Structure 1
Amino acid sequence: MPSPASTFVVVVVFLFVVSLSDRDCEAADKDHDFCFSFDGLEKNRSFDSEFALYGDAEMSGSAVRIAQPAYSSSGRIAFRKAIRFFGTKPGFSSSFSFSISRGDGGALAFFLSPSGLPLVSAERDRLGRSTGDVAVRFGRFNVEKLGELGGSFIEIDVEGETLTRSSNLTEVGLILNSGEKLRSWIDYDGESKRIEVRLSQARNPRPRNSSVSYSIDLSNVLWREAVFVGISFSSGNSTHTSSIYSWNFSVKHGAPYLMHSEPLNPDSFLVRSTESPSVHLRKASPWGVFMAMVFAAACGAMLAFFMMLVWAVLAARRPVAPVESPVGVAYGKIVSAGDTCLDNVK
């Protein structure tokens, strides 16, 4: 029978291994509170439970094809759980690889949309506009439509207003509607109050300089309510298609808030926070949980040791049974008291 000490050691080692094997991207990135990732259906078996496709979007091999090769086709991919930002300096980072088929027209957009608005399908706007509070759009249009800004461009919109637009990306060898696989990095830093967008070929590393940037405080926009995060595409008056090959998103001072599999319908049920968001989104430290489990295991081992000790003491104190044996009586030596008295009288 194993000793309590060896049992305790085995339990501690088991709990430690479990705690290490249960790490995810949330625990791996210490600088962010929450993150999710998509890197092809074959590498992410939980795709259906984490992501939702709307409109004409569908899986195509290990990628997501957002729009079909048809006029006015549109669709989007979105993370199923809304994200709630909190803290004094909320921020987020997103990177994704994509491609847009050859030709003019159509636009792809990364967006943060209020959770109170249903994400049924992407809007069929030729600029790929969405209902998002924050949107970054990638598109290419004819010169006669957008003047000197014709060609490939990146646009930053907040609450429906265009804040800034990049110069012609074609001049630096970046053509969005070429069918080439590209990668974009979108970062909003709550410390510097600045949003930056980078773009390069997917095979190249992250550029040092941003393609377009803008200084703005998005705290009030991010605090207003929980948001859905997604990527949309609209072909407009063309037959373009667009595919998403990978997508990573992380937030600083934020976490999943509305734990529903589908976006809510505001006409039926709308949840708004009436208390401090930090109360709802407080997360337990992984090491704190691990130490609590170790403490519980130690208490269990001590209890088992005490019970074994009591059992050993009780087993050592065996009861002593009396030995039964016949008692002999010397009848011959018994003298009647009455006979003795008679002899004395005589």
Structure 2
Amino acid sequence: MFKPMSFDNEVELFGDSKLINEGSSIQLTNSVSGSEGRVVYKEPINLSNSLSFSSYFSFSMPNETDDVMAFVMVPTSLDLSLFGNKNNNSSSALGFLSEYAKKETVVAFEFDISNRGNRARILLGKPESSEVRNLSFEGDLLMMENGGTLSCMIDYEASLKRMMVRFRKLGTRKMLDPFFDFSVDLGELWNGGEFMVGLSSSNGNSSEAHVLHSWNFDTRHPTPVCEPPPMWMHPQPSEPFEG
């Protein structure tokens, strides 16, 4: 069962992000162009014993190509105050890593979902030397009216060294077809150490606010090879908790 984080106590806000709705939501970007906001889960994640993890968050942002959302994993050695730095020369939610964390080993991806297509960019390794992988993922276009809400579910299965990202519209139980996945060995990248997780958002030339409604992060032991595949590999993963 997934339980949302407390935005008051469990996350740190950076950039333009701020608590709204009496602390129940986070507005990540302002209603002006060139706005960037980030949040970081305060608890370090330990990769000992080859842990797998699941993360789930619900958010709203316009379906315009300049509006992007990113999931970021960085080592605990990184000065987290860098999450407050802006990269106004980029419409990417990952641009601050390329500018301020060039020599750190990171795992991050960003996506935008619009009527022009679904796109993802993946960054693995050191931003100064790693090539950003660009993907397009097919399926139903997840059209969102302004203020509409979408859910994203991220799963990392250590035994498979694989990360999968899926989406769901508010009010439905089924995860929709658009998704992407990629291979990554987190244990090898960080040698069994600790890392921090965060979300980054940028609205580029758009002037719309992005809002984070809920977020959770849960670790689990990896699925043994002899057992059935984890639920996230099926069309309808187990239902996340929404309080």
The normalised TM-score by structure 1 is 0.52
- The 5 A counterparts of 1:85-164 are 85-87=47-49, 89-101=50-62, 103-120=64-81, 121=84, 123-124=86-87, 125-129=90-94, 130-131=96-97, 133-140=106-113, 150-159=116-125, 160=127, 161-163=131-133
**Equivalent residue number for residue 180 of structure 1:** 148
**Equivalent residue number for residue 230 of structure 2:** none
Q: Distance in 2 between matches of 1:185 and 1:56?
A: 24
**Equivalent residue number for residue 38 of structure 2:** 76
What is the one-letter code of the residue matched to 1:84? N
Cα distance change, pair 222–249 in 1 and its aligned pair in 2 (3 A): farther
3-state secondary structure, aligned to 2:160: coil
What is the one-letter code of the residue matched to 2:15? G
**Equivalent residue number for residue 251 of structure 1:** 219
Cα distance change, pair 93–229 in 1 and its aligned pair in 2 (3 A): same
Q: Distance in 2 between matches of 1:241 and 1:139?
A: 14
**Equivalent residue number for residue 197 of structure 2:** 229
**Structure (1 or 2) with the larger CA radius of gyration:** 1
Q: Report the alpha carbon displacement of residue 166 of structure 1 after superposing the two structures with TM.
A: 3.1
Q: Distance in 1 between matches of 2:188 and 2:32?
A: 39
Q: Distance in 2 between matches of 1:116 and 1:71?
A: 32
8 A Cα contact 2:27 2:210, kept in partner: yes
What is the one-letter code of the residue matched to 2:25? A
8 A Cα contact 2:61 2:146, kept in partner: yes
Give yes or no for the alignment of 1:198 onto 2:159. Answer: no
Identity of aligned residues (%): 27
The structure that is strand-richer by fraction is 2
Q: Deviations over 1:161-218 (max 9, x none)?
A: 434523255xx13136854200011111011111111012022224286611123323
What is the one-letter code of the residue matched to 2:184? I
**Equivalent residue number for residue 189 of structure 1:** 157
What is the one-letter code of the residue matched to 1:118? D
What is the one-letter code of the residue matched to 1:77? V
3-state secondary structure, aligned to 1:221: helix
Q: Report the alpha carbon displacement of residue 85 of structure 1 after superposing the two structures with TM.
A: 1.2
Query: Of 110, 133, 136, which aligns to 1:166?
Result: 136
User: Larger relative CO (CA 8 A, sep 6+): 1 or 2?
Assistant: 2
Q: Distance in 2 between matches of 1:137 and 1:112?
A: 12
Aligned residues: 204
Query: Of 8, 13, 17, which aligns to 1:53?
Result: 13
Give yes or no for the alignment of 1:37 onto 2:1. Answer: no
Cα distance change, pair 157–245 in 1 and its aligned pair in 2 (3 A): same
Q: Report the alpha carbon displacement of residue 83 of structure 1 after superposing the two structures with TM.
A: 1.8
**Equivalent residue number for residue 237 of structure 2:** none
- Structure 1 residue runs of 4+, over 4 Å off? none
- The 5 A counterparts of 1:306-321 are none
The normalised TM-score by structure 2 is 0.72
CA RMSD after TM alignment = 2.8
3-state secondary structure, aligned to 1:187: strand
Q: Distance in 2 between matches of 1:240 and 1:164?
A: 25
Cα distance change, pair 115–201 in 1 and its aligned pair in 2 (3 A): same
Structure 2 residue runs of 5 or longer lacking an equivalent are 98-104, 223-243
Q: Report the alpha carbon displacement of residue 71 of structure 1 after superposing the two structures with TM.
A: 2.0
What is the one-letter code of the residue matched to 1:91? S
Query: Of 11, 14, 25, which aligns to 1:63?
Result: 25
Stretch moving more, 178-187 or 150-159: 150-159
Cα distance change, pair 222–67 in 1 and its aligned pair in 2 (3 A): same
8 A Cα contact 2:14 2:38, kept in partner: yes
Q: Report the alpha carbon displacement of residue 221 of structure 1 after superposing the two structures with TM.
A: 1.9
The structure that is helix-richer by fraction is 1
Q: Distance in 2 between matches of 1:219 and 1:226?
A: 10
**Equivalent residue number for residue 233 of structure 2:** none
What is the one-letter code of the residue matched to 2:112? G
Q: Report the alpha carbon displacement of residue 73 of structure 1 after superposing the two structures with TM.
A: 0.9
Q: Distance in 1 between matches of 2:213 and 2:48?
A: 30
8 A Cα contact 1:104 1:177, kept in partner: no
Q: Deviations over 1:224-243 (max 9, x none)?
A: 64211111111222223211
Cα distance change, pair 123–175 in 1 and its aligned pair in 2 (3 A): farther
**Equivalent residue number for residue 187 of structure 2:** 219
Cα distance change, pair 104–165 in 1 and its aligned pair in 2 (3 A): closer
